Amino acid sequence: MENLALIESFSEFKDDKLIDRVTLMAILEDVFRNALKKKFGSDDNFDIIINPDKGDLEIWRNRIVVADDEVEDDNQEISLTEARKIEPDFEVGEDVSEEVKLIDLGRRSILALRQNLISKIHEHDNTTIYKQFKDLIGEIYTAEVHHIRHKAVILLDDEGNEIILPKDKQIPSDFFRKGENVRGIIEGVELKGNKPMIIMSRTAPEFLEKLFEQEIPEVFDGLITVKKVVRIPGEKAKVAVDSYDDRIDPVGACVGMKGSRIHGIVRELGNENIDVINFTNNPQLFISRALSPARVSLVTLNDETKHAEVLLKPEEVSKAIGKGGFNIRLAGQLTGYEIDVLREGVEEDVELTEFSDEIEAWIIEEFRKIGLDTAKSVLDQEVSDLVKRTDLEVETIEEVVRILKEEFED
């Protein structure tokens, strides 16, 4: 009866952890075999019989009968005298099966059994959760804000699983309150000390792609394909879409009448500005579209270096570059080309790299980040605007402007 009582005691974990009976029994057998190994040195000659329906368990040790003075391994062998205490007609060479009671293992072993079972069940839970979320990587998931920390927001789903939304995976404008639901994609999951650590992201391009699938029926149905997504979270994004059905306008279907379809996605992303662009295999046309809302006059490509020069009218340059250089940067990421802007009607200009003996390379790189790589492209901008769009101090920019002006005055 003590076997049955212990199993019933262990079975409480089944209800708490929602483990099926068969799995619980498999864990129980593993736990008992470990206990037998510690007690007897080996479990090879033990039979463990589990009845999943009744939750009952029996342990039998099998030994060979040997002469009284020939016992070398008392776990594998039993003397004739001891065997005949079990059954009086045993003879040397016969097999003896003897039931092992839990009380024979000792009180400490029984306590260790219980602790080991708890550990194994937790391990089983963690493995199950790990596999579950491993299959959900790249998918949208919703969980509730449980705790707000400086470096992360801790979320809980309906099953009580803890999900971490790190600060660098949050959109800059995100503001969370305890108890509210948050959407993001499962970006990764790993086991840390047998405990699964689930990471959610709201900044990944895949999150925006999955939002398109959820919010736009034609994308969900496969009539429209999202070819590529690039983002500067909370600021701007570009999404290239395509359709194999010529009757469908993929951009119009995604945006909707007066932006009705995309409005919910924009709101979810903290009013991130989203440009939806028709994908094309023609790289020159794709670059022109990617630089929208600017109107490009000419695109010249170098496919070997993946470099593109775009010619624009002066009034289109600022549109192509965009606030903070976001537009041209995202256009480059979307198309896979490094894009340089040239102005129509500007015959004499000098590359900034020509001033490398007077202007440090890292300063030139700061201008390049916002699409300014020639002297006149910098001089066409207001100093106050350059301060806002770069990480340069006003004194540094004024010194650069002075150097560039001297070039043209000479």
- Label residues 4-27 b or e (16+ Cβ within 10 Å = b): eebbeebbebbeeeebeeeebbbb
Total domain count for the chain?
Answer: 3
Average pLDDT of the residues in 176-186: 94
Of residues 379 and 6, more confidence is placed in 379
Q: Is the pLDDT of residue 121 over 80?
A: no
What pLDDT does residue 1 have? 39
Average pLDDT of the residues in 175-182: 93
- % residues pLDDT > 70 (the chain): 85
In a domain, 36, yes or no: yes
- Domain range enclosing 216: 204-279
Question: In CATH, what number is assigned to the domain containing residue 226?
Answer: 3.30.300.20
What digits encode the pLDDT tens for the residues 335-387?
A: 999 998 887 765 567 788 878 888 898 998 888 888 888 888 888 888 888 88
User: Which of 161-165, 206-210, 294-298, 318-322 has the weakest average pLDDT?
Assistant: 318-322
Average pLDDT of the residues in 265-282: 94
Both 194 and 209 in one domain: the answer is no
- What is the pairing mode between strands 195-201 and 152-156? unpaired
Q: Is the pLDDT of residue 171 over 50?
A: yes
Both 178 and 228 in one domain: the answer is no
What pLDDT does residue 45 have? 86
Query: How far is residue 214's CA from residue 209's CA, in Å, rounded to a whole number?
Result: 9
Q: Is the pLDDT of residue 136 over 70?
A: yes
Average pLDDT of the residues in 44-59: 74
Both 195 and 217 in one domain: the answer is no
Both 118 and 144 in one domain: the answer is no
Of residues 350 and 283, more confidence is placed in 283
Q: Is the pLDDT of residue 142 over 90?
A: yes
What pLDDT does residue 10 have? 52
The last residue of a domain, from among 181, 202, 223: 202
What pLDDT does residue 369 have? 84
Most confident of 114-128, 328-342, 394-408: 328-342
User: The tokens 């879409």 sit on which residue?
Assistant: 241
Q: Is the pLDDT of residue 5 over 70?
A: no
Question: In CATH, what number is assigned to the domain containing residue 44?
Answer: 3.30.1480
Most confident of 108-117, 202-211, 315-324: 202-211
What pLDDT does residue 147 have? 92
Residues in the chain: 410
> Would you place residue 4 in the very low, low, confident or very high pLDDT band (cuts 50, 70, 90)?
very low
Both 34 and 95 in one domain: the answer is yes
C-alpha atoms less than 13 angstroms from C-alpha of 101 in its C-beta half-sphere: 6
Both 19 and 79 in one domain: the answer is yes
The CA radius of gyration of the chain, in Å to the nearest whole number, is 35
Both 34 and 102 in one domain: the answer is yes
Average pLDDT of the residues in 1-30: 58
Both 58 and 6 in one domain: the answer is yes
User: Which of 114-128, 146-160, 318-332 has the weakest average pLDDT?
Assistant: 114-128
Average pLDDT of the residues in 69-81: 85
φ, ψ for residue 154, nearest 5 deg: -95, 125
Of residues 273 and 101, more confidence is placed in 273
Average pLDDT of the residues in 386-407: 88
Q: pTM value?
A: 0.63
Both 113 and 217 in one domain: the answer is no
Amino acid at 63: R
What pLDDT does residue 213 have? 93
Pair 375, 327: CB distance under 8 Å: no
The last residue of a domain, from among 178, 202, 226: 202
Pair 385, 369: CB distance under 8 Å: no
What pLDDT does residue 132 have? 85
What pLDDT does residue 112 have? 67
In a domain, 216, yes or no: yes
What digits encode the pLDDT tens for the residues 123-133?
A: 667 777 888 88
Both 183 and 198 in one domain: the answer is yes
Question: In CATH, what number is assigned to the domain containing residue 146?
Answer: 2.40.50.140
